[in-house]
Each structure stands twice: as structure tokens, then as C-alpha cells.
Structure 1
């Protein structure tokens, strides 16, 4: 059976990565919504329903650095033009193991599907749950290949108090025994520090291509 993106991600969450051989693995999209690239150390995974031959021929024609070819802007532009998709940014991909216990801060779950943050999350995730806290917000939902993804927001007036770290820690406690994934823009140093302080570890980078 051909390897699936979900298998690759689940292995990465356990610390088992593709060989650091400079290679590229091409797998089918896990569903019609999500396509893109995940780059691990010296090995990339392109998940797309486009022809694998086109992917490899395009990478070869661009002549990019083999270790980073799939994250090269020229390849990503070519893939977006080919698929009619767009991307926002290249993110750092992090994982957090589940934690026992209850969150240390008071959280109120938002049940209203019309809530602006719920509606925004549903464009990229399924089974979305949203909690509010004093000065912050936590989102959990199923994203790429069904993985459980966390996102947080901290209001300007509540920053520099450790709230972001407590929110992403709470995500690990609310995960029901699953690994929690997070995508953080590489330039968002504040958010990266919060996730790492809460025990998340970077496993690679990701460019997610979305339909217009």
C-alpha cells in the first residue's frame, strides 16, 4: 500500500522521520481541501493530487538546492499556478504530546457555530472547538490529514503574562490523549517561544495550499 500523509505525520509525532537523504516523497492529498509541502530535515513530502512526474520534473527544471527545493519560492509558485491554490506563509510545524490533568486557567467553551472565530476556523479545520479565557482564546480542530491542531490568540492587553503558554498547555490537556499539532509563522517569535515553553517541539516546516 502506498504511504499516506497521515502515516508520515503520525511517525513524525513519535520522532520517526523520513531518511535525511535529500529526497522528496510525493503522496496523495488526504482530502480535497488540503494540499501542500511538509519539509523535514533533508527530506520533503509534497501532498498533492497533481501528477508526481510533473512535481519531479518541475523540481529538476528549477535547479534549486536539493535540500530545500520544495520550499523554494519558485517551486511553490509553480505548484500554486498548477493547482489554482494560494498559500499564506511557510510555517514552523510543532507537536505537543498529550498531558493529563485539567487546565490551570478558567476556560469557557463557545458553542455558537456563528461565532466569528468558529466560522474562521471551520474554513480550514473540522470538528472545531473554541474556548475563551480572560484575555485569550484557544482553538482545537482537525486539520491536515485529520491531525488535531491548536491555535491561540492573546489580546494586546494580556500579553507578557504567560497566557499564551498556559493556553497552549491547556490544548495538550484537552487533547483526549492525542498529539497536538501547531503551525506557527517562522517570524512569529513570541508565539514560537510560547509553544516551546509549553513543551512543544519543532518537527519541520509546512506550506499549506488552500483553495480560493
Structure 2
């Protein structure tokens, strides 16, 4: 049974989410503040963390950043804020997915299961891919640039592996949403922001990428 930590300050919403997720087969636990959630996650790590952005004390953005300093647990943002700048800020902070309230319980459960499946998915049957100074080792869950390790999240790593496995081929945003996030339909901003985060980590000049390039009107590819 997958465990979910729900960090939501509204007691009514938090209880409603916990009950709904329990009915969907999750082991759901809650926290009313970012500080409480971070403490709980350190002591009893959940498989997936769900975070609201408008929290007292540390807000959701800072909560995600704090999580990412020591934990690569999948993070889903559930927020009433739907502005593009909020979506981008949350994803750049390290969130894996962003869902706008209100959302049907079935859809929310499906997204959480997709996040959990990505954690359990085995690595591709290759030992490594090399692209100049960039090396990707799926068997060791490792990325290096010029021999130095690069810290990436699980979602970033899966995205990089998917592109490496199809090096030289263009993958559309919808193909990447399906293969990396497990969504038949989803917000393409998830792909764009994660590609941008990857470029910051694996490109010597992210504004003029040599490895992870955009093919206008089509999608992205990793140069062989």
C-alpha cells in the first residue's frame, strides 16, 4: 500500500483528502504546516508527498525546496492557484506534478499512482549512455558531467533516460508526458519546466544547449 503525506493547512480540506485517499487504497497521513510535514517526512518517510502552496510559516514553495535538499520523494502540488508563474515556480522548486483544485478524487488518485509507479519502474537494460562529457548510468541511477556527479530528481532522471534511450529522435511533449509521467493527457508545462531544470544541470551553457535541444513545433531530443 502506497503511503501519502498530505501537507494542507485547512483542516476541513485535509480531512476530506485523507478520507478520500484512504478509500482509494492509500495509507494517507496529514500535516497542517510545512514544518510539521517536513518533520513527519524525516521520521516516517512517505512514498509520495502532496503539498498546498498557501501554508502558514514556510509556504509550499519553500517546503518543496526544503524537501529537495535531502529527499527525492515524488512531490505533487495541489493548489487553488492556477497562474502559470505559480506552476513554473513550484516545478522549478522541485515538484514533479501540479494539480489545480478542485480535482476529482479519481484523477488525483491516478496521478499519485503514476508518481508511485515511476519510483518502482526498473532501469532500462543498458549500463550507460555517453554524450560527450555527459554520462547517464541508469543501472546506478547516476548522471555525471565531466566526471562530476549531477544531482537530479527522480522525474528529471527518468526524463533524461527516456531521451537518452531515443537519442537523436524527437519526442513530443505528449509522448514525454505519457512515457515519463504516465499521463495520457496532461499539462505540457510539466515537460517544459523539467527540461529547463535539466538544462541548468547538464549544459555548460543552458541558453545554448548542446545536448538537450528543442526542435521547434515538434518537441525535444538528446543529441547523440
Which structure's residues are more often strand, by fraction? 1
More helix by percentage:
2
- Please say whether Structure 1 and Structure 2 have the same fold, judged by a TM-score greater than 0.5: no
- Shorter-normalised TM-score: what interval? under 0.3
TM-score, structure 1 normalization: 0.27
